[in-house]
Structure 1
Amino acid sequence: AFADSLDHLSVIRALEGWEESAGTESVRVGVVDTGIYFRHPDLAGQSWQNPDETRNGTDDDGNGYVDDVVGYDFVDRPNAIPEGEYEDRDPDPSPDSLGFFSGHGTAVAGIISAAAPDSEDGVVGVAPRTRLVALRAFGADGRGQTDDIAAAIVYGAQQGIDVLNLSFGRSRSAPLLKDAIEFAIRQGTVVVASAGNAGAIDDPHYPSDYPSVVSVLWLAEDGEGVPDFSRSQHGIGVDLGAPGSNVFTTQYPRQRLLDDEPVRQKDLYGPSDGSSFSAPQAAGAAALLRSVDPTLSPTAVQSILTGTAAPIGGAPWNHTTGAGRLDVARGLLRSYPAQTTLHAPAHNDGVQGTAPLPVVGTALHPSFKEYAVYYAEGTRNLDSRSDPWVRIAGPSETPAHRDTLATWDAASLDEGEYTLRLATTLTDGQTIEDRRRVVIDRTPPAAEVEFLGAGRVDGAWGILADLASDDTVQSDMEVQIRGETAVREGEFASSRQGLTWTDETGLGGEASVKVTLTNRSGLQTSVDTVLSVPADESNPSFFRREETSVPGGTLLPRSSDFDADGLPEIVLNQFAGRHGGLSDTLRAFEWTPSGFAPADTLLARLFPKDVGDTDRDGQKELLMQVNGATILLEQRSSDLLPKELVYADTSAVTSSQEGPSLHGARLTDLNANGTGEIVGNWKSGSARTEWRVLERQGNSFQRIERLDNPTAQDRSDTLRAAPNAATGDFDGDGLQDLLVGDRDGNWILYEATPSGEVEVAWTHETDRFAADKRFAVGDVTGDGRPEFVTHNTYSPSPPDGGAPEPPISFYHVWSATGDDAYKRIYRLPVAGERSRGALTTADFDDDDRDEIAIAHPPSLFVLGASGPSSIQVLYQDRADPAVRSRSLVATDFSGNECPSLLTATTGETLRRYTVDASGVGRPPPRWVRAVPTGPSGSRLEWRASGADSVRVYAGPPDAALDPVRTSTNSSVVIADSSRLQFALRAYVNGDSSAFSPERLVRPHDSATVADVQYPDPSTVRLRFTERIAPVPDAQGFELTGYGAPGSVLRSNDGRGLVLVGAR
């Protein structure tokens, strides 16, 4: 039915290739992606069926994976914020409908091997008779973790999958991923990857840049070059190309399934763009080659694909498009082994160049004539530069296999990037090439500490490191604490390194920390320090939580009694769907003795920002804002919610949302003249230019102040969403202050002068990002003066083109030291991805000090002080669904003088936190560890300062817990071979605490090695009697002749490890 839409098959000559082979069922292609929708009619019969496994809850084939019948789901992101299928690996590799990117894998799979059951309907893939293996390693948000991706690749290799398609990538190399891919290739698996969509030329892109991977770029629909106005990434790392524009393929009907509606034919098909859809065409071609000759090695397949590619623009090989356009038919007709490969130095490798450098490579082909080796300075514009190449050796008429082709004397060359080139010329004049980026580097890397200190990591205290370098480096961090040593390795090779270590015991202590940076040529720089890691004193019983009946939404940051009946109301813009988002409905809910009740509704596609009374007439006003619109509504006597228009700036409400406009943030009275003001940020084009103060004058507002940002602008202050602001008299001088921030990570405090003007009083500049969204004000130290709380975070895409910053956010508490002078009295670093969050303060526990509530997805934190400089984490909740909220509301709803807290979550309703008065005074014991002692017992350790005794409760999972032991010590051993949940309760003078969080222990023997295999000379495969968690550090092993392995890969669902030789 869609034959006229499958132009890409004609461009790559797949139809002619089918005369030789359309594939065989024994050839399997693994799709490492977001999962495959095998209920699609064109994919239903295309899945691989594991012949040795059935769905019975048992690992029939003994590979460690239970019920892996059609593949496996490797996604294991327990800290993921979005709602969806992110936790626990399982045998269901189907897509997750809750995310917008869930259909990516289905589109890729259709290009490889779709086969319509009826020739009159559907689409067809490049290799329709081969079979697909679904290896889900990416969540529905389109993101994948390196360890999950590596696990999927290792699984594919150990299952003997013929081809792996990797339609994803990033600019940074991940050594773990590299080792997993190299392991797969050594096991005989062909690996194909997309070259990227960043629009960059010659920039690194992984995994496609790894030399043994077939790298496929995005070509135009006709295959005659890079498409105009595209984001196709091309250059030195590319092998060949295939069409990537409007590739018609199978689609995942996500929205229809989510809405539980019938799936229509038009929901199942559509075009896709990008190199993600070029790569599967080459993966399909590789599968056809394996169908014709199963003995072809990955290197042979790569060489055949590049050696038979169709030249683009008449050039047999060029720096932009590599070997040219994929030609399936020609490849199948010339399916004989050939190879042109540079083995050493490796692509993107570094060398010091102080001694002659052997260039090792292979130049083999049935039509071989000669080879030559060259180098060029730099990596860009090599086809347009006049004779950039310097010959090192050749031409040589002798074929070579893993031999020294040349000796490169680089001692006289300057430091920098060079392109190494091996060119094999065939008897028909055709040239096959391999090019490598090589970096000459004789200087140890610089190490600039952006942050190195204690912070929160995965719900506990730990150590966070953020280091910048002038070089591409790998990193490791050694932590010595309490007589133990732990080593953590950085995930990526990059000029910005982030590492974390978690103190899982909660004991804290003094830690010696050493962070080492190693550049590509092996030179190192280390940073040593001693840090104090706090003991974890957070109290899980500080709050009680309950899910309310109020639908989720973006809250007005404070409650108000709009109808003056003594009962507070909350206002929110109700979420538009399960993922949040703006709707056209504002709703008010009033607190009643039985809970929240609907009170009023307003049709407005706006976020509520503030409530006030600018004209002091007793009628409440509601400030709302979205994109290019700021609206102020006032109450009418007959309504609860304000509905009468007082002020509107909608000048930028256009399809492009461009044009100057006010982004209203607060209602205030800065000059204290009794007339209210709107404070907002002025947007011009896509950038913020200034803050403005608009004062009410009768029934209108007039601008009375324009406040410039005096801080340095290292990053463009582009407007992603409306900023927030805070007001108060922070230094106690009787003058109102306005606190704002910018996207560049800086804070500015303006103060109203006695003359009524507003001037800059204080600034603080940082090298962080997004300091404009989260503020709170409260008397945190109990000294009668307000402190203010600020937040800044990391930039995942620095505008200067630098490396992504490690995911660390910071919360800062500031206190006045004099007139217009402030110092930071506390800083809380938190590791993890940033998402919608908020701040507020309230005296939740009635101790005459305000606590700080922080919505930092997926957690809710509460910070509190016992003195002027002793702020600590009192509480952290990571309950599911995760906290995610643009604003928080702290209000005494019950009239007991103890505010409770409302927040949005990733669930469907708001959550309410109420202080547990008994829990505040009597915290439960804090776990140190709960571990098996062997097959017949468990050891429990805890901290319970001041307790007379601790009672241990136990029971099977999901069952009631019963008391089993009372102890006056800090540990017990429970002799029971059953899998049990444990909880603890402290007793003081006969009074009990709340229960501690539960811990699950499964008694078992220590893991021992059950099997050892040596699949190749540099790899060791270990099988254990038990799951290994976490993955041991590479330094814990020694390979004879290699030292410590380069990396340790998890396999067999945790029951196996693959030790890869030193890199």
Structure 2
Amino acid sequence: MGAIATITGQASAADGAVQYIVRANGNGTATNLTDAGFTVRHELAEGSVLVVTGPEGAAADLAAVRGITDATPDVSVDFDRPEVDADADELPSDGAALSDLQWDKQVTDVFPAHEYATGEGTSVAIVDTGIDLDHPDLGNVNEELGEAFVLDDDVPEIGPDDSGFHGTHVAGTVGATGEEGVVGTAPDTELVPIRVFPADGGATFGDILAGIDYAAEIGADAANFSLGIPGVQQPDSALNQLKAEIQTVFQSVTRQGTAITGSAGNDEGNLQGSGFTLPNSVPAVITVSATSPADTLSFYSNFGTSDIDVGAPGGWYETIPRTLGEEGEPDDIPFPLNGVLSTWPTDLESSVGLPGYDFISGTSMAAPQVAGLVALVRELDPDANANQVERAIKQGAELANGRSDPELGAGRINALRTVEAIADDD
């Protein structure tokens, strides 16, 4: 039950207006667009990228407005999850301490790393479905800073609360406090919920970009997005037109100091060469592949030296039969415990019968492992810029020779190695 977003169609509002992502090259462009009859929803990257709504088929009219260099219809995305067909095993009784089931934190040496840093004084923005504001292990959520950026919001009354489940699980992986059940990579960080999904699914790239731009505006140390388009796109793809706008916004965000962590995708796709996914296939993103409890690439994870920066635990093994225990090693973790355990909305049923917690898998679960590690690095070195933070995480990774491993990039992250190296330099 891991997740990555899949394209669901053109981004449009209930009134029929279509959303466009526009590149601009001059002051006053937003006014020019308004004068031409368009509505400007977001001004991003210091006004060089605009999110605009207007009539269907108006891309050419937009491009004709003074100050506009390009206009592309936005697309809507929703979650797509790798699946296996099996019954869930029985889990420990309700209310038990669950850290012993967090193999992901054990593999990456997170718990001993907390002797050096816990993320105190940092913040991580979760650009997702929102976060359960009532979860006992998520008492470090800053609801006041939380925002919702949703083109056609069907649950505006919930604000940054979770409209599904995905954001709550991601948030726990980053920074669950361990108050009752699980511990995140950075349990003392501040979590900022930025909801870009309505309850019925369908986040637009315009809103995703606005959410990440907002994360930089509030000074978040990291912004995690565990979403993206499915498959491997080629240079002639219509989606290639969005790549420049995404890169412009993301580079603006990282220049402001916010590191961006993104999931590589769940399509077993080779991103080598000219192939790409969005929004993670731009240089400003720390793109994360998913690994198993055995430190193998999970069977669903995308790979490719042109895109993958590091690997991190995402759950399940390198094959479905090993995931289900039909083959493998005697000490393999059984299904579903070989998924990633994290927080779950308290008002939703847990698929494993453990209220408030669930095991799911995907590159969506791998990216927040790295976002939490960004918080640990920033606690120890608050003046490090986004590139320096990424470099420290890569230098602390293991299991790869160099930084061009097609599956793991610089390697599978190791929190203890990373923070020890920073502490030794002080």
TM-score if structure 1 supplies the norm length?
0.26
CA distance in structure 2 between the aligned counterparts of 1:253 and 1:110, rounded to whole angstroms? 13
Aligned-residue offset at 1:141: 3.6
Distance across 1 between alignment mates of 2:118 and 2:256: 24
1:39 — aligned with what?
A: 134
Q: How does 1:109-120 map to 2 (within 5 A)?
A: 109-117=171-179
Q: Equivalents in 2 of 1:316, 1:303: separation in Å?
A: 11
Q: 332, 336, 346: which is aligned to 2:419?
A: 332
- Give yes or no for the alignment of 1:275 onto 2:342: no
Pairwise CA distance, 1:252: 1.7
Q: Could you say which residue in structure 2 is the equivalent of 1:94?
A: 161
2:285 corresponds to: 213
Asked if 1:251 corresponds to 2:344, the answer is: yes
2:276 maps to which of 190, 204, 212: 204
Distance 1:256 1:17 in 2: 33
Distance of 2:289 and 2:297 partners within structure 1: 8
The partner residue of 2:122 within 2, 27, 36 is 27
Q: RCO (CA 8 Å, sep 6+): is it higher in 1 or 2?
A: 2
Between the aligned partners of 2:415 and 2:221, the Cα distance in structure 1 is 17
Q: How far apart in 2 are the matches of 1:243 and 1:141?
A: 28
Code of the residue aligned with 1:207 in structure 2: it is P
Q: How far does residue 178 in structure 1 lie from its aligned partner after superposition?
A: 2.6
Structure with a larger share of its residues in strand: 1
- Answering whether residue 203 of structure 2 is matched by residue 144 of structure 1, we say yes
Deviation at 1:256, TM superposition (A): 5.6
Q: Using the TM superposition, give the Cα deviation of residue 147 of structure 1 relative to its aligned residue in structure 2, in angstroms.
A: 1.3
Equivalences for residues 5-404 of structure 1 within 5 A: 5-24=101-120, 26-43=121-138, 45-48=139-142, 69-77=144-152, 84-85=154-155, 92-96=159-163, 102-117=164-179, 121-170=180-229, 171=233, 172-173=239-240, 174=242, 175-202=244-271, 203-222=275-294, 224-227=295-298, 230-235=299-304, 236-245=306-315, 246-255=339-348, 266-312=354-400, 317-335=404-422
The Cα of 1:180 is off from its aligned counterpart by 1.9
Letter in 2 for 1:326: I
Partner-residue secondary structure (3-state), 2:203: coil
Instruction: Give the direction of change, closer, same or farther, for the CA distance of 1:256–1:265 in structure 2 (3 Å limit).
Output: closer
Task: Answer yes or no: is the 8 Å Cα contact 2:247–2:284 preserved in 1.
Answer: no
Q: Distance in 2 between matches of 1:296 and 1:112?
A: 20
C-alpha contact (below 8 Å) 1:146/1:176 kept by paired residues: no
Give distance in 2, aligned partners of 1:216 and 1:140: 26
**CA distance in structure 1 between the partners assigned to 2:141 and 2:171 by the alignment:** 10
Letter in 2 for 1:76: L
Once the two structures are TM-superposed, the CA of residue 251 in structure 1 deviates from its matched residue by 0.9
Pairwise CA distance, 1:335: 2.7
1:181 corresponds to which letter in structure 2?
F
Distance 2:344 2:388 in 1: 33
CA contact (8 A) 1:149 1:177 kept: no
Task: Tell me how far 1:155 sits from its aligned partner.
Answer: 1.2
Q: Deviation at 1:305?
A: 1.0
Quick one: distance in 2 between partners of 1:136 and 1:290? Answer: 24
Query: Residue 215 of structure 1 contacts residue 240 of structure 1 at CA under 8 Å; is this kept in 2?
Result: yes
**Partner residue in 2 for 1:747:** none
The equivalent residue for 1:2 is 98
CA contact (8 A) 2:127 2:224 kept: yes
Flag structure 1 segments of 5+ consecutive residues without an equivalent.
50-68, 79-83, 97-101, 258-263, 337-365, 367-1063
Percent of matched pairs sharing the same residue: 32
Q: Is the contact made by 1:72 and 1:91 (CA closer than 8 Å) also made in structure 2?
A: no
Task: Deviation per CA, 1:725-770: give whole Å up to 9, x if none.
Answer: xxxxxxxxxxxxxxxxxxxxxxxxxxxxxxxxxxxxxxxxxxxxxx
Give the C-alpha shift of residue 162 in structure 1. 0.9
Q: Is the 8 A contact 1:163 1:286 kept in 2?
A: yes
How far apart in 1 are the matches of 2:255 and 2:133? Answer: 30
Supply the RMSD in Å over aligned alpha carbons.
Answer: 2.4
Kindly provide the CA deviation profile for residues 319-340 of structure 1, in whole angstroms up to 9, marking residues without a partner as x: 232111001111112239xxxx
Aligned-pair distance for 1:265?
A: 7.9
Give the 3 Å change call, closer, same or farther, for CA 315–147 of structure 1 in structure 2.
Answer: closer
Counterparts of 2:145 and 2:311, CA distance in 1: 30
What does the per-residue CA deviation read over 1:198-238, in whole Å, with 9 as the maximum and x for residues that have no partner?
Answer: 1101241222221121111011123x2213xx211111200
Aligned equivalents of 1:210, 1:46: Cα separation in 2:
31
How far apart in 2 are the matches of 1:220 and 1:163?
24
- Aligned mates of 2:366, 2:211 — CA distance in 1: 21
User: Post-superposition shift, 1:250?
Assistant: 0.5
Could you report, residue by residue, the CA deviation over 1:156-192 in whole angstroms, capped at 9, with x for unpaired residues? 1111111100111115453433322111111111111
Count of residue correspondences? 291
Distance verdict in 2 for CA 1:298–1:315, change over 3 Å: closer
Q: Any idea what the Cα deviations from partners look like across 1:951-975, whole Å, max 9, x if unmatched? A: xxxxxxxxxxxxxxxxxxxxxxxxx
The 5-angstrom pairing of residues 437-448 of structure 1 reads: none
**Residues 316, 185 of structure 1: alpha-carbon distance in 2 compared, 3 angstrom cutoff:** closer
TM-score by length of 2: 0.64
Kept in 2, the 8 Å contact 1:47–1:70? The answer is no
- Choose 1 or 2 for highest CA Rg: 1
CA distance in 2, matches of 1:147, 1:210: 16
In structure 2, C-alpha distance between the alignment counterparts of 1:316 and 1:195, rounded to whole Å: 16
Q: For the residues of structure 2 that align with 1:147 and 1:250, how far apart are their CA atoms? A: 28
- Output one character per residue of 1:459-516: Cα deviation in whole Å (capped at 9) or x when no partner: xxxxxxxxxxxxxxxxxxxxxxxxxxxxxxxxxxxxxxxxxxxxxxxxxxxxxxxxxx
SS in 2 for 1:335: helix
| SS at structure 2 position matched to 1:301 | helix
